[in-house]
Amino acid sequence: MESLEVRLVSRPLGLPSPSNFELATVSLGQPGPGEVLVRNRWMSVDPYMRGRMTDRRSYVPPFALGAALEGGAVGEVLASADPAFAPGDLVLSMWGWREAFVKPAATVRKVSVPAGVGEEALLGVLGMPGLTAWAGLREIGQPGSGETLFVSGGAGAVGSVVAQLGKALGCRVVATAGTDAKCAWLAAAGVDAAINYRTCGSLLEAVRRAAPGGIDIYFDNVGGEHLEVALELANPFARFVECGMIAHYNATEPPPGPRNLIQVIGKSLRIQGFVVTQFQHLEPRFQAEVSALIREGRLRYEETIVEGIGRAVEAFLGLFSGANTGKMLVRL
């Protein structure tokens, strides 16, 4: 069978463009011993993928030029030469950015879909972004009832889960987003104050009004001005959960550091970055807790769905212009 795949053909400088990618056709044979043939149904595009497009040492190797990109995907086994898998099995893999693949069975994981959600949720609210939100907030943020949680990028795949989980744990939640529609969605999801950072004027004053008692936890998805605001308004011993800094992902020069970083000292702040794989062992607990919140109606999730492998690059680039509410997905 033939399959389309998206390849990286040049390394972006600044914001990626469609010219950095190509759509190629490959022919797939039958699986050999220990292999499976899988047709993907869904693939994920995520901001962290931008870092892998740059040739530098990091926590995960860079994408190779001329090769298909990689990322989370949910697919169906079409043929198997491994006794652990059978045609029809639903599997999760990191072989996204392609319609189908033949790979070692050890690189895919058989999954079932929890009640009340679609299978694509395994790439979003019950997948890597959800675990990122749950583990970052619980393990690093350590929220207490009555504390104030500030979330940047609150309508994204990670931020939207953080904001609602914070409410479920008894926090007052202030979140930012880039449109009025996203702020309205956050308000409907129970967030105490949703701020449109593009139109609010002074972000510092807007957050100060929304959090007059200061900030106890900051969950950072944006960096930049948001981080400076959080440092300014942080209460003593506040916890900063450094998950992402999308404001800097396409920078062509080193961005300036927070001008008020000195606040860390006098306020005894704890700032900790993390990578979700550090908390992979907590996945069963995470899925049980978040699934229960979804069933109880205490956690809503949104998905922005783009159709077809031919629009995968468009979906990815849309992450940097705020085209998504919740998880950005490509249906294959």
More confident residue, 59 or 316: 316
Q: How far apart are CA 133 and CA 286, in angstroms?
A: 10
Percent of the chain, pLDDT > 90? 96
pLDDT of residue 319: 97
Q: Which pLDDT score is estimated for 57?
A: 87
The pair of structure tokens assigned to 79 is 């043929």
Residue ranges per structural domain of the chain? 2-124+302-331, 128-278
Amino acid 276: pLDDT: 97
Tens digit of pLDDT for each residue in 63-121? 999 999 999 999 999 999 999 999 999 999 999 999 999 999 999 999 999 988 999 99
Structural contact between residues 110 and 126, judged by C-beta atoms closer than 8 angstroms = no
243 pLDDT above the threshold of 90? yes
Residue 92: strand pairing partners: 74, 109
Q: What CATH class is the domain 2-124+302-331?
A: alpha beta
Instruction: Report pLDDT for 60.
Output: 87
What is the average pLDDT value for the chain, to the nearest integer? 97
- For the cut 90, the answer to whether the pLDDT of residue 58 exceeds it is no
User: CA-CA distance, 287 to 118, in Å (whole number)?
Assistant: 14
Q: Give the architecture (CATH level 2) of 128-278.
A: 3-Layer(aba) Sandwich (3.40)
pLDDT score of 148 more than 90 = yes
**Left, alpha or beta for 83 (phi > 0: left; psi -120 to 50: alpha)?**
alpha
pTM of the model: 0.95
Closest CA to 272 of 315, 301, 241: 241
| pLDDT tens digit sequence for 221-238 | 999 999 999 999 999 999
Give yes or no for residue 244 having a pLDDT over 90.
Answer: yes
State the average pLDDT over residues 184-194.
Answer: 97
For residue 126, what pLDDT is reported? 98
- Judge contact between 121 and 113, C-beta under 8 A: yes
Inform me whether the pLDDT recorded for 59 exceeds 90. Answer: no
Residue 195 has pLDDT above 90, yes or no: yes
123-138 average pLDDT score: 98
In 3D space, the residue among 275, 318, 90 whose CA is nearest the CA of residue 330 turns out to be 318
Q: Which residue has the higher pLDDT, 238 or 256?
A: 238
109, 92 Cβ separation under 8 angstroms: yes
- Strand-by-strand arrangement of the 234-242 sheet: 193-196, 172-177, 148-151, 215-220, 234-242, 270-273
